[in-house]
Structure 1
Amino acid sequence: MPHTLKAVDGHEEPIENHSLPRIFFSKVGNQKLRTAIWSGVDKGEGKRTPLLFFNGIGANLEIAQAFADTFTGRDIITFDMPGIGGSPDPTIPYRPWWVAKAAKQILLENGYDMVDVLGVSWGGGPAQQFAWQNKKMTKRLILCATTTGVTMVPGNPKALSKMASPKRYIDRDFLAKNFETLYGDAASSSGEFSINMMPPSVKGYLFQLMAMMGYSTIPFIRRIKAKTLVIMGDKDHIVPVINGKMLNALLPRSKLRVIEGAGHLFLLTRRDETIQIIRNFFLEPEVPMPHKDSVQLPSVEESYTHYKPKIAS
């Protein structure tokens, strides 16, 4: 393993300055899921509640690195959906209830029986599903740039049309050119997202899209008991703020925060500000957490080494 990591602006960062995950495979039924656990750093206040992280559509687990590098006070657990990142393609279609079931199994196998749950964009559906299916395991719920499912108010058609294809994960030039149209975040922030981006398989991406077809959390959302924080960006081109207001109105124990000038990817592009909002929600003591530049994990660099010939052919 190298002693330095490539940072988003091209300079080298000492590897010991960053919290790197343990990456391994979990098996749920016949499906292998590549799983990551970042170990929390004790900041003098004792071990905090672990965080279960549900990522966005097509997003591999390494994209959570920048978040994990800043939000270091607790263990963070996440996994790649079938056909995404390093997980093998799905053999059969799946639904959010299966994702929540898989998450529970992974947590229990690794010794976690109580977690805070965070869902971003697509991951907000499984996050709500998990909080409902596993009330006793869910302490608090954070929903970022997400909706109730098919019952959402849709975003900008230009942005949504580009979401139908995984091209932005395959072609970095395409991503940079269309970043602001897609997400509403400044184009200059595209590197924060793309530095740890890995191409999903077409089958994996399509199955992830299909998982949400006809799905809505409205039938059970009022029975979610966990205290909930909903965070939205007012410049989000994919999930308009009205969806956050709907979630806030429907969830029994929720509060809404809207970040002015933020697009869909505020968890990365406005990372420090968003994490401070989450820490305030958790009532965490004021412990300094200096900003760290985003760095590329070795697993991403290796994946692109193998993937480039496939693109060229």
Structure 2
Amino acid sequence: MRLLVSLLLITGTSVPFQTDAGVPFNGLGGEALMRGISRACRPVTLATFKSLDGCVDDPFNGAQVMISDGKLPDGYQWGNLVSARWWRMVPDLYGDTVSRDLYNLLPLGSDVVEWRADRPVGEVVTPSYSNALWSAGLGLLGGEEFECYWPPEALRGRLARTYFYMSTLYHADLWAPEAYLMMSSETWPGLSGYAAGMLVDWHRSWPAGADEIRLNELGERLQGNRNPFVDYPELAEYLWGAHKGENFEIEGEPKALKGTYRLSEERIDLYSPYIPSDAVWTVDGLSVDGAWVMASGLGLGMHRLDYISASSGERGRLTINIVEG
């Protein structure tokens, strides 16, 4: 989907995107990786519709939609790529954040609102509605019919990354019935096997382009967060794809502290997204000259890590365990 972010005029006060040095979920895998992304990438605040002006493409109808102070032309209304009504079984869990998160927001025409409704994604074999770009109706899965819609090709890459983002940041233990083809009640993998396979394929086939990257810049200014699956497209492979369950690692970036290390591990980075970046460390009462220590240099057993922030004076203590291996 081509989003003309360059035409969006931002009103009011923007929100700075603030992070500590490093990637907070670096070095994590599986459920820990998903939880780390969720903690680090939530919106700081939510934009008001009045802060949005400009022109966006409607991928369902191949038209352009003009937005003025958040108001849409006749026949359009604000809607969601992943239906916010799927969270109706847990209405107090995230409030209206799910429906107002910029990365899940899109102007929808009346035909899309009527025919797509809350349906999951699936290949339509018996259409109730179709145009040259998308369709809605009955699909087949395992010999069983189900209500679904098949999205426009121009939307599939962004739709995949929106599902990755929404299922990771806004997990629910209980979903509305329409959601279960796509979502899982388990924190990880968060998506159903059916959805994960299809969406990862779309993510690979339609990578984020310049306009989706500009949408990330807009989200950073208005909400104070970014969609990490745009910044780090390989994340999808570690959660649902070819590297599922493996640790996600960015070379050169520090890995957040954890409770247990193996003696053979290369190094222990004295870093955590929850500890001030200017912290000064001691290990077992000895000052540390640098930002990391070697596990082999500490040896087997329990070790005490103390820190103090040079600017705020915040103090803390952690304990790590080094084991064989």
TM-score (norm 2): 0.24
TM (norm. structure 1) is 0.25
